[in-house]
Structure 1
Amino acid sequence: MSYAKELEIACLAVQRAARLTKTILASVDKGALDKQDNTPVTIADFAAQALIISAIHHVFPADQFVGEESSGALRENPQLLDRVWEVVSTTKLEDVDGEEKRIVLATPSSPDEMLDLIDLGGKGAGGSEGRIWVLDPVDGTATFIKGQQYAVCLALLEDGQQKVGVLGCPNLKLESDDLQRTRVQEDVVDSAGAGQVLYAVLGQGAYIQPLSNTTRLLEDQRQRLPTRQPTDPSDVRFVDCAYADSTDYNKHGLVAKALGAPWPATADLWSSQMRYVALAVGECNTLIKIVRQQDHRSSIWDHAGGMLIAQEVGCTITDVRGDSVSCGQGRKLAGAYGLVVAPAPVHARVLEAVKEVIQRS
């Protein structure tokens, strides 16, 4: 199955949501509030989730959803609800003169419908059966608020396996056409353009092309992302986040030392999904996650889509025990303990170094 229709609607839905986030980013007050986990949530989170689910649900009404956000905060705060509805009801992609639309993106018809659509994702259970769309409307809200890197994320699971992955990166700036090495840093921002979108279909490679503010996908400007195949462990280049509470950054440094690889990490990014982007475009090639608490399990929306893109550029993905990682076990990566993402030729050596560091601690 080619998944051509799924990819097209996913890319357009992400493109519209990315435009929404970029518009809100330009405003002074982003309507930030705190969730229980103290992560800043913005109007962009709620509005982007509503628009993405509306577009997908209209075309594939039998499909299920898993999304990060639920509508509780909006139902309890009429003022915030009004602000989100205003953004949702007015955000549109510009039509291209003389070009017939292949897909019309649906929009919620009322605030009540918007709330129900948000909850299709927020109350979605996930699992290993059927077709499930996984989304994170704004991955990296803390850096989004600062005007740094974030991603609009969407993936399709079919019977628990990732089939389509789309990551919209509104602030990602390509400084050249050389995809062997593209910088991905928090402050290297596409302030003049609309950013980039990365996408993959299982077994069909991974691609990057500019985002647009129109109903056209800029497929004529797409580039296939090359595979990453370093063979020497000293050529490992890490992407990490020094401020992540869930991971042990010091142990990550010990792994780098064991491999003879540079440390600190080549790129330090808050957004989990942007770390996969850094792997895909060649800024880095390896991502590990040694967790501080043994019972910690990541949410699937922090990885679905990005994992698929990383696999399509030649990465092998396991947990720190060497077991496979599945997004088909609910809302969490329930069976995965930590993470090791590395190019296939060096993955075994990186995994060995991770195990050695854990055993010594």
Structure 2
Amino acid sequence: MTRYADDLALAHRLADAADAISTARFRALDLRVDSKPDLTPVSDADTAVEREIRSLLADHRPGDGLLGEEYGEQPAAGPDGRRWVVDPIDGTKNFVRGVPVWATLIALLEGDRPVLGLVSAPALGRRWWAALGGGAYAGPDLASGAPIGVSGVTDLADASFCYSSLTGWEEAGRLDAVLQLMRDVWRSRAYGDFYGYMLLAEGALDVMVEPELSLWDVAALVPIVTEAGGTFTDLSGGPAPAAGENSAVATNGPLHDEILARLGRPAER
């Protein structure tokens, strides 16, 4: 048990409440979908999940801060700088099209450091979680979770490489580097959103990279990957996540320096 045992139990309770709402709305014929100002979709499930999590945190952690994708920032009332970061449904585009790869992401930060992360993907029947110093686990619930760990692959030619959309890498000026990596590795796939990071933490693949993320997209992923034995930085090799826009390079560890070197600087335009 770690010092975050009570917080981890609460995170599972939040996930249980989120799963009850999201699974009831998944593939619902009356699902309402709107567009946000950035033209990304938001469903009634996204907003309902975040409202429920906010209500539960107000009851159980009233002094903690909260940042959610749909309703923004609620500053901490206490002096210790604890803040929960929530993405009510990561993979909303999958959710609204009936693709079962989506999840609720729940993180606890102390200052800028994620100390707890939970990813719940009820349509896949799977949940992943970790707290600082306690290892990483996966399973249907807290009581039946089993430890997970990253792979031991050390040669890029043997690696399974996962990436986000190629258009994002093109916009970042790094498409040529990503395409070359895809040619040089054993296998490449774009599983997308949270899922590639969780497969990395389980040892099913070896590298996951994304050029642009928000804090709520990434905060819950970092403790799970690192407690599973992996390495998680931004594209410059610095710590992730940051307060604003983020990039992500997550690996099993032995491959990390080579991936950073291969992605390199953006191409000249």
TM-score by length of structure 1 reads 0.67
CA distance in 1 between counterparts of 2:103 and 2:224 reads: 14
Cα RMSD (Å) of the superposition? Answer: 2.4
In terms of fraction of residues, the more strand-rich structure is: 2
How far apart are residue 320 of structure 1 and its match?
2.0
CA distance in 1 between counterparts of 2:232 and 2:14 reads: 27
Stretch moving more, 278-287 or 151-160: 278-287
User: Could you tell me the percent identity over the aligned residues?
Assistant: 28
Aligned to 2:164: 241
Aligned to 2:106: 154
Aligned to 2:249: 340
Task: Within 5 Å, give how 1:268-287 maps onto structure 2.
Answer: 268-269=191-192, 271=193, 273-287=194-208
Aligned to 1:305: 220
Q: 1:143 aligns with which of 68, 82, 94?
A: 94
Alignment gaps of 5+ in structure 2: none
CA distance in 1 between counterparts of 2:160 and 2:116 reads: 26
Check conservation: 1:252, 1:288, Cα contact below 8 A. Answer: no
Please state whether the residue corresponding to 1:208 is helix, strand or coil: strand
How far apart are residue 26 of structure 1 and its match?
3.9
Task: Within 5 Å, give how 1:143-222 maps onto structure 2.
Answer: 143-148=94-99, 149-172=101-124, 195-210=125-140, 217=141, 219=143, 221-222=144-145
The change in CA–CA distance for 1:125 and 1:140 in structure 2 (over 3 A counts) is: farther
How far apart are residue 243 of structure 1 and its match?
5.8
Task: Within 5 Å, give how 1:215-234 maps onto structure 2.
Answer: 217=141, 219=143, 221-234=144-157
CA distance in 2 between counterparts of 1:242 and 1:249 reads: 10
The amino acid of 1:63's aligned partner reads: D
How far apart are residue 227 of structure 1 and its match?
3.1
Check conservation: 1:45, 1:137, Cα contact below 8 A. Answer: yes
Q: 1:255 aligns with which of 177, 181, 188?
A: 181
How far apart are residue 229 of structure 1 and its match?
2.4
How far apart are residue 360 of structure 1 and its match?
7.6
Q: Give deviations 1:330-354, integer Å, cap 9, x for gaps.
A: xx24xx5x33211111111111111
Greater Rg by CA: 1
1:6 aligns with 2:7: yes
CA distance in 2 between counterparts of 1:161 and 1:289 reads: 20
1:266 aligns with 2:267: no
Aligned to 1:31: 32
Q: Give deviations 1:94-149, integer Å, cap 9, x for gaps.
A: xxxxxxxxxxxxxxxxxxxxxxxxxxxx13479xx700000000011100112221
How far apart are residue 222 of structure 1 and its match?
1.4
The amino acid of 2:115's aligned partner reads: K
- Aligned residue-pair number: 262
CA distance in 2 between counterparts of 1:200 and 1:218 reads: 11
CA distance in 2 between counterparts of 1:50 and 1:250 reads: 42
CA distance in 1 between counterparts of 2:181 and 2:123 reads: 31
The change in CA–CA distance for 1:18 and 1:249 in structure 2 (over 3 A counts) is: farther
The change in CA–CA distance for 1:62 and 1:134 in structure 2 (over 3 A counts) is: same
Aligned to 1:123: 73
Aligned to 2:241: 326
Check conservation: 1:209, 1:218, Cα contact below 8 A. Answer: yes
Check conservation: 2:106, 2:118, Cα contact below 8 A. Answer: yes
Alignment gaps of 5+ in structure 1: 71-121, 173-194, 211-216, 291-296
Runs of 4+ deviating beyond 6 Å = none
How far apart are residue 250 of structure 1 and its match?
4.8
